[in-house]
Amino acid sequence: MKPNPLSTDDTPDNAKQLVTEAESLFSVGNVSASEQLCRRALKKDKLNADAIGLLALVSYQAGNVDQAKRLLSQAIEITPRNAVHHYRLANIHQDQRNLDEAIACYTEALRQSPNFLAALVNLGNSFLQNRDFKQAINVSLKALDLAPKCIEAISNLGQSYLKSGRLSYAHNTLLKIVQHNPNSAEFRNNYGVVQQLIGDVDGAIKTFNVALNLDPNCRLAERNLKIAVLNSPKWTVKELFNLQKSFCRPYPKIQNSNKVFAEHDFSIGRKLRVGYLTSDFCEHPVGYNLLPLIKHHNQEAVESYLYSNVETQDFVTNQFIETADQWRGIRHLNDKQVANIIRIDQIDIMVYLAGRFNGNRPEIAIYRPAPVQISFHDCATTGIEAIDYWLTDPDLHPIETEELFVEKLYRLPQFYQFTVPSNTPHTAPPPVLHNQQVTFGSFNKPEKLNREVIELWARLLSSIPGSRLLLKYQNFFSDDAMKTLWKGKFKEHGLSIDRISLLSRDDQQADHLALYSQIDICLDPFPFNGATATFEALLMGVPVVALEGKHFVDRVSTTLLKQANLSQFVAKTTDDYLSIARTLALNTKELVNFRTKIRENLIGSNLCNAPRYARQIEKAYQCMWQNRCEETV
């Protein structure tokens, strides 16, 4: 029989020994016994900082965050040079996403104990979360000097390289982790992300599938796989649909529940409570598309509730907070908790934004928290039958569309909405006038430039002597390995690498837009078209040649061009695509005329008419609400 650690006879009388035993008990999960020993130690020595610090962990585990921080601050005041107390306080701040405070506390811990490996690892992670990638890399490398095989430090390093655009370094680092940990779904997923970013979409798809075989509940791998397949021209309409549906198999029982809203007001014509849920209430394309709608909602028709899963708030987030009727932070709540809040808020129409991207959470819809549920700004079906409608338009989904989906389509007069930036540069003459050579360009994500796209663009450039291709996406082409990789992709199709220019600059918006002055004609990729990239090119007066496809994702530029009355740039076939681009390239006078006309067409279109757009959306909501009310009668 083991002795009772709380026995008066068997428990050491020395306060230090009591705390040592309490630490041991806490480490094996015996929190209550650990707490009692700490309190006994404090009766013997009321200024025992280690006992106070351990009680802080007990308090934190019980959910008493403020008390935990007060106790650790007290322990630090007693023994300011004890690195462990600073480290533990930093951990609490990091858990609460108080990143500046966490960084300060980890830094102090390391000042007291420079070789404190756990503090170095966590400091690197805090810098990573705080988007200070340079510091995250430096700290992670220091951690690896101490422990070259520390997986957490290698992971932080790989993620920091990835986020800072040093893709070849990220690829090599994350590959090393997978090789050392072949059975980790999380590390497989991270490696798949960098594969996709460097353009190896097929490799990424395989990696995400391996991750899901290792752990079928790896939601990040599921989400990333659903994005990756949209970049691949190999997947058929039916294969894409079956993939989306396959991830919804665990949900059916929940999907069919909670459809009765006994106390809900199902009257027609009243002011509607509309909820919007996303991680993109920030400086993000979805945020920029949504903000004009929220700002121009008719206050007599709609009361807006924003459910935010934003990771890091910024100046755009603040505009959403100021504009919305109600703001709810949901980042630390699980799906069921969020659904309960939506139900308590008596939301009539719940809009789930950009479901498969970033930190968005369409799965909350399975709990049926609102009578009407909508998918908006997602690029394919959610596969979730509890979502009633998918917002689209007649060009994204014509009547004869081949795309498959579980939701009902609701075709808006137009899908997209943009705000013209106040700092937009003036349009510049096409550079062919002074270069005496045509420059094609694309500022889209490299993962969209698949083999079929590269082959078509290489054919185009080969047919126009002296023409060049300019590529840029943030700073993704910043290192020599990436430059060699991407130039090599075009070389495989017979194009000299000196005709490919790769820019690598993480510019502010105005500077980024000004770079379009270096391009005569933009080329749109497929099957995943540009959206923001297409808008920005048109805003700067640059024609965009696009291929009309079969799905939402490969008809995005089609709808933008048609809305701006520029349908002459939309190709039905790859031969048409080449013909349109060649005709433009050989007609300098037309390129000059288009430089002004294209911007005027865009700004004068409904794509930049926020009040009109808001009325269209509100009309859609009223129509959907009326349909739901009539079902209830």
Q: Determine the Cα–Cα distance for residues 431 and 585; give it in Å rounded to an integer.
A: 12
Q: Is 164 exposed, middle or buried (0-12, 13-18, 19+ CB in 10 A)?
A: buried
Nearest to 444 by CA among 357, 377, 544: 544
Same domain, 459 and 585: yes
Residue-level pLDDT at 633: 66
Q: Determine the Cα–Cα distance for residues 225 and 4; give it in Å rounded to an integer.
A: 52
Same domain, 399 and 441: no
Same domain, 436 and 550: yes
Same domain, 304 and 400: yes
Residue-level pLDDT at 53: 83
In a domain, 628, yes or no: no
Q: Determine the Cα–Cα distance for residues 92 and 496; give it in Å rounded to an integer.
A: 55
Residue 273 β-bridge partners: 303
Residue-level pLDDT at 428: 95
Residue-level pLDDT at 163: 85
Residue-level pLDDT at 7: 43
Residue-level pLDDT at 253: 61
For residue 575, the domain's CATH number is: 3.40.50.2000
In a domain, 497, yes or no: yes
For residue 293, the domain's CATH number is: 3.40.50.11380
Same domain, 322 and 407: yes
Which regions of 360-403 does DSSP assign to beta strands (E)?
372-376, 389-392
Same domain, 450 and 375: no
CB hemisphere CA count around 196 (13 angstroms): 23
In a domain, 136, yes or no: no
What 3-state class would DSSP assign to 252?
A: helix
Regions in the chain scoring below 70 on pLDDT: 1-13, 249-259, 633
Residue-level pLDDT at 8: 44
Q: Which domain holds residue 396?
A: 274-411
Same domain, 375 and 443: no
